[in-house]
Structure 1
């Protein structure tokens, strides 16, 4: 079973993401919903400048997703921060929650990075005031990490997460809200990369190298271990997919070509593979590495989250790349 959510209008989604990520844009709110109650079909429901509009647009009988842009002030400095909201309305049937729940990681990965992740079924729990409060809590944790990283002389990658959950039990007439904040252990980043991973990434990105893909994975398949190089090659997606195993997690970078106005351009695809036989506890641990792994393998023109080979169709990847063409400013150089 596929656990990937896909946008019916990829271009519209990319444009909306670009707007909400742009500090100079007045767009502060992006809301995504499912098309025709299909858990695998997504579309942009709303973009706007007023975050408080969530209370009018989030429906009690639907599962929806929000990326909100807010500004916080700390030590007289104003900073732009992002909050991801997983909305599960109170009238969503239990059976429907299960079908929609399996694709959430796919949706979240397309909205990442963000500073705080919230799950809610009541708009009173996700007011601008409460989201700012969660951001302030997360900022306090991040500042401690930065001090430690400065002492160790190491650069801490942003949006590194271990999930700290504060879940209120469901009581009749009461809402339930789960908070996942960007935080890391005082010992530093929860995952490290072997030096040859960054070397391989540079090789794939080099115009002078024929290498067009790489694959990396956890040492011994253990998400508590470092991420090592598995292999790189010149045979494209076919070479990469040959190595994928259904009980392991991998991260890949693929270089492809696209033509715009008869000009051939290079595009990059970031792939996260979580095989459909990966244990639930491993999936939970890997989810906390989403931010730091994204920082390592990006920038990329598109990101693909896959759990089975059918999710890695070369035709579909190329179509997504073509849909993203002309959005070069969305990918930082």
Structure 2
């Protein structure tokens, strides 16, 4: 007997509300994590600190996350957004493979981000690395003009 995985459903209203909250500069909420509840992707957690964000991901889990970070200098600060796809190291190959089609469903709701990352290990959940990716994606990064 072949076991067929159910089609993934996305709680669009829940995701859209969390997405709007993270995108709102007046909101204290800086991130939202979306996990599987059976075959449905739902809002699993929302929060303010990067430490709390990091704690959301386990090696047996699959998840998506949307996070707001501040970039720029003292002259111009701006919010930038990342989409993270998390596939823990202990996730089965079949569930890993399903992530790409599921990500397409999630991206129908979480459509606005500067950087997209796929991560699988806790040490990749690094605030500085995320900021560096955003700066790279931002293009014009003038710095001091002095070359080493």
- Listed one character per residue, the Cα deviations across residues 282-327 of structure 1 (whole Å, up to 9, x for unaligned) are 1122222222222222210111110011222111111111112247
Cα deviation digits, residues 113-147 of structure 1 (max 9, x gap): xxxxxxxxxxxxxxxxxxxxxxxxxxxxxxxxxxx
Structure-1 residue corresponding to 2:30: 212
Give the counterpart of 2:54 among 224, 228, 241. 241
Is 1:281 the counterpart of 2:94? The answer is yes
The higher-RCO structure (CA 8 Å, 6+ apart) is 2
Partner SS state of residue 288, structure 1: helix
Report what 1:226 is aligned to: 40
Matches within 5 A, 1:26-37: none
2:83 is the alignment partner of 1:265: no
Q: How many residues align?
A: 134
Segments of structure 2 that go 5 or more residues without pairing to the other structure are 1-6, 141-148
Q: CA deviation at 1:212?
A: 0.3
Q: Secondary structure at the match of 2:106?
A: helix
Contact preservation (8 Å) 2:12, 2:109: no
- TM-score when scaled to structure 1? 0.38
Select the residue among 168, 186, 200 that pairs with 2:18.
Answer: 200
Q: Would you say the 8 A contact 2:10–2:106 is kept in 1?
A: no
Structure number with larger C-alpha Rg: 1
Unaligned 5+ segments in structure 1 are: 1-188, 328-333
Structure 1 runs of 4+ off > 3 angstroms? none
Aligned-pair RMSD on alpha carbons? 1.8
Alpha-carbon offset, residue 260 of structure 1: 5.1
Rounded to whole Å, the distance in 1 between the matches of 2:54 and 2:129 is: 15
Which residue is equivalent to 1:324?
137
In the alignment, structure 1 residue 294 sits paired with structure 2 residue 112: no
d(CA) in 1 for partners of 2:107 and 2:12? 16
Structure-2 separation of matches of 1:245 and 1:269: 19
How far the C-alpha of 1:243 sits from its partner, in A, is 1.6
Q: In the TM superposition, what is the alpha-carbon distance from 1:190 to its structure 2 partner? A: 4.5
TM-score by length of 2: 0.82
* Alignment match, 1:152: none
Q: CA deviation at 1:194?
A: 5.0
